[in-house]
Copies of this chain bind each other. A is one copy, B any other.
C-alpha cells in the first residue's frame, strides 16, 4: 500500500452504554451526525461516495442487510454500501476494505462505521450470540463461551510466565481510570484492584470485572484520499500502516494459548508498511475484551517482551502520562464493547488524541498512534498505524 494510504478528516461516536428503546440505525445516525457536524466543509450527499460498515450479528435485532439500512438512515441512498463481519473486529475489516477503495483511486471520500445494539438481549442471549464467532462443532457445541476461551488463555499465561490475578486486575483498574475521563464511556467510575479480585468468578481466573460489558453504540469516521484531506480539515490524521491476519477459529488447534499470532503478524505488516517501531507509538487502543487480552496485546505488539506484559502494567507504564498510554478511551472494559462499533471507535479515539481533542485524557504531544482489534479467539486480527498529518 502507499503511505499514507488514506486520511481521517473527522470522527463521531455515539454515547456507549445501555441505550434503551432505540434501534441500531438510530445509534449509527448519532455517530454519523457527530462526524458530519465536525466537518463543516463536507457536504455528505455531494462528497461521500460509499459506506463501509462493520456489524457482527443479525441476531440482536433480527436484522441483516444493514448496509443499505444504515445508509438510508443517514440520507445517503442510493450510494453503494458494504457490510463486513469479522466478529469483534467487524469494523476494522470495514476500515481495511475502505482503505483498498481509497488506494485504488476509485473513491476519494467514504464513511467507515460500525454499530451493535446488544443490551436489550439477556446476558445469556448475548453470550450465545457472541459464541457464534467460535467454531460450532468443535467449540460452541461443547458449551464453551468466550470467557471460558480467554480464561484458558489466562491460565496458560499464568503458568508459562507467572502472570498474576492482581496484574490482570490492574488492567481493569487502569481502563476504568481512563474511562472516568471519557463522557462517552459506558462506565465512568473508578474501581480498585480489590473490587476486581472480589468480583464474581466467571471462568477462573477471569472474574466479572476482568470482562468487558455488553454495550450499545456506534462509531463513524470520514476517510479521504490523503491528497484532498486538507479540503476538509486543517488537522487530518493519516493511516500509514495496515496489517491483517487470520488464525484457526478453534483454540484447540493452536500450539500456544499465551500469544495472539494474528496480532504479531498484523502488527509486523503494519509496522513494516509505516516504517514505525513499537517504541515510536505515543498512544494505542488495544482489544481488552478480557484483561488477559490487553496483557497479550502489549507483548504481541512489541510494547514489551513476551511474558513481560504483567510487569508492564505493574510498573504503570500504560497509564496516561506514562511511557505508552494504552486504552485512553477506557478501552472495551470501561468505554464498552458494542461489538461492530469497536474497531472504528478505536480509530476515533486515536483521531481525537492525534488532533489534540481528547480533553481530560489527552496524551501530550501524541503524534503516532496504533489500534489493535481482534475477532473471536484472535482468529481475526487487524492493526493500524496512524500519524498526525499537519
Q: What are the residues of chain B within 8 A of A248 when measuring CB–CB?
A: 68, 72, 77
Q: Is the CB of A78 within 8 A of B137?
A: no
Instruction: With CB as the reference atom, state the residue of chain B lying closest to A378.
Output: B68
Contact indicator B78/A247 (Cβ below 8 Å): yes
| Most B-side CB within 10 Å, residue of A96, A132, A136, A249 | A249
Query: Chain B residues near A81 (CB, 8 Å)?
Result: 246, 380
Tell which of B56, B78, B244, B376 touches A80, judged by Cβ atoms closer than 8 Å. B244
A61 in contact (CB, < 8 A): yes
Q: Is A317 an interface residue when CB atoms closer than 8 A count as contact?
A: no
A 230-275 contacts with B by CB, 8 A: 244-249, 253, 261-262, 265
Select one of B65, B72, B136, B253 contacting A85, CB under 8 A.
B65
Contact B87 A261 (CB under 8 A): no
**A72 → chain B closest CB, angstroms:** 5
Question: Contacts A93-B82, A246-B80, A247-B68 known; A62 to B104 CB distance under 8 Å?
Answer: no
Name which residue of chain B comes closest to A51, CB basis.
B246
A71 within 8 A of B: yes
Q: A145 at the A/B interface (Cβ < 8 Å)?
A: no
Q: Bound state CA distance, A69 and B133, in angstroms?
A: 10
A135-160, CB < 8 A from B: 135-137, 140
Closest to A61 in B: B136
Most buried by B among A23, A65, A140: A65
B63 touches A132 (CB 8 A): yes
Q: Are A23 and B244 in contact (CB under 8 A)?
A: no
Chain A: residues with Cβ within 8 Å of the partner, total of 57
How many copies of the shown chain assemble into the complex?
A: 2
Residues of B within 8 A of A82 (CB): 84, 86, 93, 96-97
Name the one of B64, B86, B133 contacting A57, with C-beta atoms under 8 angstroms: B64
Contacts of A93 in B (CB 8 A): 67, 82-83
Q: Is A354 an interface residue (CB 8 A)?
A: no
Contact A63 B100 (CB under 8 A): no
Report B-chain residues with C-beta under 8 Å of the C-beta of A245. 78-80
**Do residues B68 and A380 form an inter-chain contact, with CB atoms below 8 A?**
yes
| A113 beta carbon closer than 8 Å to chain B | no
What is the CA–CA distance of A106 and B62 in the complex, to the nearest angstrom?
Answer: 36
Taking CB atoms, residues of chain B closer than 8 Å to A87 are 64-65
Question: Which residues between 24 and 75 of chain A lie within 8 Å of chain B, taking CB atoms?
Answer: 56-59, 61-65, 67-69, 71-72
Q: A77 contacts B247, CB within 8 Å?
A: yes
Bound form: Cα–Cα A245–B77 in Å = 8
Contact B69 A249 (CB under 8 A): yes
Instruction: Name the residue of chain B whose CB is nearest to the CB of A85.
Output: B83
Residues of B within 8 Å of A84, CB to CB, are: 82-85, 97
A375 at the interface (CB under 8 A from B): yes
Would you call A228 an interface residue if the criterion is a C-beta within 8 Å of the partner chain's C-beta atoms? no
Interface string of A90-103 (1 = CB under 8 A from B): 00010011001101
Whole-angstrom distance between the alpha carbons of A77 and B380 in the complex?
A: 11
B246 touches A64 (CB 8 A): no
**Docked CA distance A63–B64 (Å):** 14
A-B contact pairs, 7 of them (CB 8 A): A57-B58, A58-B58, A64-B85, A67-B93, A72-B248, A84-B85, A104-B104
The 4 tightest CB contacts between A and B, nearest first, are A80-B244, A104-B104, A103-B104, A68-B246
Q: A1-B106, A84-B97, A100-B106 known; 10 other A-B pairs, CB under 8 Å?
A: A62-B136, A64-B85, A64-B132, A65-B375, A67-B85, A80-B244, A82-B86, A82-B97, A84-B84, A97-B100
